[in-house]
Structure 1
Amino acid sequence: MTMAAADAITARPWLDASLPVDERVQLLLEEMTVEEKAGLFFHTMIAIGDLDETNPVFATPSAREFVHVKNMTHFNLLGAAPTGREIAAWQNALQRLAASTRLGIPVTLSTDPRHSFSENPGASILAGPFSQWPETLGLAATRDPDLVQRFADIARQEYTTVGLRVALHPQVDLATEPRWARQTATFGEDAELAGILGAAYIRGFQGESFGPGSVSTMTKHFPGGGPQKDGEDPHFPYGREQVYPGGRFELHLKPFEDALAAGTRQMMPYYGMPVGTEFEEVGFGFNRSVITGLLRERFGFDGLVCTDWGLINDAEIFGQPFPARAWGVEDLTPRERMLKVIDAGVDQFGGEDCPELLLELVADGSVTEERLDVSARRILREKFELGLFEDPFVDEDAADEVVGRAEFRAAGEAAQRASVTVLTNRGALPFAAGLRLYVEGIEADVAAAYGEVVASPAEADLAIIRLQAPFEQRATTFENFFHAGSLEFAEEVVAHVGEIAAAVPTVVDVLADRPPILQPIVDAAAAVTVNWGASGAALLDVLTGVVPARGALPFDLPRSMSAVERSRPDVPFDTADPLFRFGHGLTL
Structure 2
Amino acid sequence: MALLPYQDPGVPVEARVDDLIARMTPQEKAGLLFHPPIAQGPDGTLSDATERLVGELGLSHFNVHKLADPRTTAQWHNRLQERAADTRLGIPVTLSSDPRHAFTDNPLASVFAGDFSRWPEFIGMAAAGDAELVREQADIVRREYLAVGLRVALHPMADLATEPRWARISGTFGEDAHLAARLVAAYVKGLQGETLGPDSVAAMTKHFPGGGPQLDGEDPHFSYGREQVYPGGMFEHHLIPFEAAFAAGGSQIMPYYGLPVGTEYEEVGFCFNADVIRDLLRGSYGFDGIVCADWNVLTAKSLGPVDIEARGWGVEELDVPDRVVKALEAGVDQFGGESCAPVVVDLLESGRLTADRVDRSVRRVLREKFRLGLFDERRYVDPDAAEAVVGHAEHRARGLDAQRRSTVLLTNRGETPALPLADGLRVYVERIDPDVAAGYAGEIVADPAQADVAVLRVNAPFEPRDGFMESMFRQGSLEFPDAERDRLLAIAAAVPTVVVLQLDRPAVATELAGACAALLADFGAEDGAVLDVVFGRHTPTAKLPFDMPSSMRAVRESRPDVPFDTAEPVFRFGHGLTY
Which TM bucket (shorter chain)?
over 0.9
Aligned to 1:108: 94
SS of corresponding position for 1:105: coil
Shift of 1:13: 2.4
Shift of 1:8: 5.3
Q: Does structure 1 retain, via aligned residues, the 8 Å contact 2:40–2:46?
A: no
Q: Does 1:347 align with 2:333?
A: yes
SS of corresponding position for 2:548: coil
SS of corresponding position for 1:510: strand
**Superposition pairs for residues 412-491 of structure 1, below 5 Å?**
412-426=399-413, 427-451=417-441, 452-491=443-482
Give, in whole Å, the separation in 2 of the partners of 1:493 and 1:428: 23
Give, in whole Å, the separation in 2 of the partners of 1:433 and 1:394: 48
Give, in whole Å, the separation in 2 of the partners of 1:218 and 1:489: 35
Shift of 1:296: 0.4
Percent identity between the two aligned chains: 57
Give, in whole Å, the separation in 2 of the partners of 1:78 and 1:52: 15
Give, in whole Å, the separation in 2 of the partners of 1:338 and 1:373: 15
**Superposition pairs for residues 21-170 of structure 1, below 5 Å?**
21-50=13-42, 53=47, 62-81=49-68, 83-170=69-156
Alpha carbons of structure 1 residues 53 and 387: separation in structure 2 relative to 1, 3 Å: closer
Give, in whole Å, the separation in 2 of the partners of 1:52 and 1:252: 42
**Superposition pairs for residues 488-567 of structure 1, below 5 Å?**
488-567=479-558
Q: TM-score, normalised by structure 1?
A: 0.96
Give, in whole Å, the separation in 2 of the partners of 1:458 and 1:262: 55
Give, in whole Å, the separation in 1 of the partners of 2:317 and 2:462: 32
Give, in whole Å, the separation in 2 of the partners of 1:432 and 1:283: 55
Shift of 1:52: 5.2
Aligned to 1:57: none
Match of 1:227 among 193, 209, 213: 213
SS of corresponding position for 1:488: coil
| CA displacement, residues 189-232 of structure 1 (integer Å, 9 cap, x when unaligned) | 00000000000000000013321000000000000000000000
**Superposition pairs for residues 32-431 of structure 1, below 5 Å?**
32-50=24-42, 53=47, 62-81=49-68, 83-317=69-303, 319-391=305-377, 392-426=379-413, 427-431=417-421
| CA displacement, residues 133-184 of structure 1 (integer Å, 9 cap, x when unaligned) | 0000000001100000000001100000110000001001001000001110
Shift of 1:335: 1.4
RMSD, aligned α-carbons:
1.0
Question: Could you list the runs of 5+ residues in structure 1 that have no partner in the other structure?
Answer: 1-6, 55-61
Match of 2:577 among 565, 568, 586: 586
Shift of 1:318: 5.3
Tell me the amino acid that sits aligned with residue 488 of structure 1. E
Give, in whole Å, the separation in 1 of the partners of 2:339 and 2:433: 44
| CA displacement, residues 401-425 of structure 1 (integer Å, 9 cap, x when unaligned) | 1001111000000000000001111
Aligned to 1:4: none
| CA displacement, residues 81-110 of structure 1 (integer Å, 9 cap, x when unaligned) | 2x2112111111111111111111100000
Q: TM-score, normalised by structure 2?
A: 0.98
Shift of 1:314: 1.1
Which segment drifts farther, 158-167 or 490-499? Answer: 490-499
Tell me the amino acid that sits aligned with residue 441 of structure 1. R
Give, in whole Å, the separation in 2 of the partners of 1:540 and 1:102: 57
Aligned length: 572
Give, in whole Å, the separation in 2 of the partners of 1:209 and 1:245: 39
Give, in whole Å, the separation in 2 of the partners of 1:518 and 1:502: 16
Shift of 1:354: 1.1
| CA displacement, residues 468-487 of structure 1 (integer Å, 9 cap, x when unaligned) | 11111112111111110000
Q: Does structure 2 retain, via aligned residues, the 8 Å contact 1:241–1:274?
A: yes
Give, in whole Å, the separation in 1 of the partners of 2:424 and 2:35: 54
Match of 2:562 among 546, 571, 583: 571
Tell me the amino acid that sits aligned with residue 244 of structure 2. D
Question: Could you list the runs of 5+ residues in structure 2 that have no partner in the other structure?
Answer: none
Give, in whole Å, the separation in 2 of the partners of 1:482 and 1:136: 16
Give, in whole Å, the separation in 1 of the partners of 2:50 and 2:558: 47
Q: Does structure 1 retain, via aligned residues, the 8 Å contact 2:195–2:249?
A: no
Tell me the amino acid that sits aligned with residue 177 of structure 1. E
| CA displacement, residues 246-301 of structure 1 (integer Å, 9 cap, x when unaligned) | 00000001110111001000000000000011100000000011000000000000
Give, in whole Å, the separation in 1 of the partners of 2:303 and 2:120: 28
Alpha carbons of structure 1 residues 510 and 393: separation in structure 2 relative to 1, 3 Å: same
Tell me the amino acid that sits aligned with residue 109 of structure 1. L
Give, in whole Å, the separation in 2 of the partners of 1:487 and 1:575: 13
SS of corresponding position for 1:546: coil
Shift of 1:432: 1.0
Q: Does structure 2 retain, via aligned residues, the 8 Å contact 1:43–1:349?
A: yes
Aligned to 1:59: none
Tell me the amino acid that sits aligned with residue 90 of structure 1. W
Q: Does structure 1 retain, via aligned residues, the 8 Å contact 2:39–2:47?
A: no
Give, in whole Å, the separation in 2 of the partners of 1:242 and 1:208: 34
Which segment drifts farther, 240-249 or 319-328? Answer: 319-328
Aligned to 2:12: 20
Q: What stretches of structure 1 move > 6 A for 4+ residues in a row?
A: none
SS of corresponding position for 1:45: coil
Q: Does structure 2 retain, via aligned residues, the 8 Å contact 1:166–1:217?
A: yes
Q: Does structure 2 retain, via aligned residues, the 8 Å contact 1:8–1:15?
A: no
SS of corresponding position for 1:383: helix
Give, in whole Å, the separation in 2 of the partners of 1:527 and 1:47: 45
SS of corresponding position for 1:47: coil
| CA displacement, residues 340-391 of structure 1 (integer Å, 9 cap, x when unaligned) | 1111011000110111111111111000111111000000000000000003
Shift of 1:44: 1.0
Alpha carbons of structure 1 residues 318 and 244: separation in structure 2 relative to 1, 3 Å: farther
Q: Does structure 2 retain, via aligned residues, the 8 Å contact 1:318–1:477?
A: no
Q: Does structure 1 retain, via aligned residues, the 8 Å contact 2:542–2:576?
A: yes
Shift of 1:331: 0.9
| CA displacement, residues 483-506 of structure 1 (integer Å, 9 cap, x when unaligned) | 100000011111111121122100
Tell me the amino acid that sits aligned with residue 428 of structure 1. A
Give, in whole Å, the separation in 2 of the partners of 1:380 and 1:436: 62
Tell me the amino acid that sits aligned with residue 80 of structure 1. L
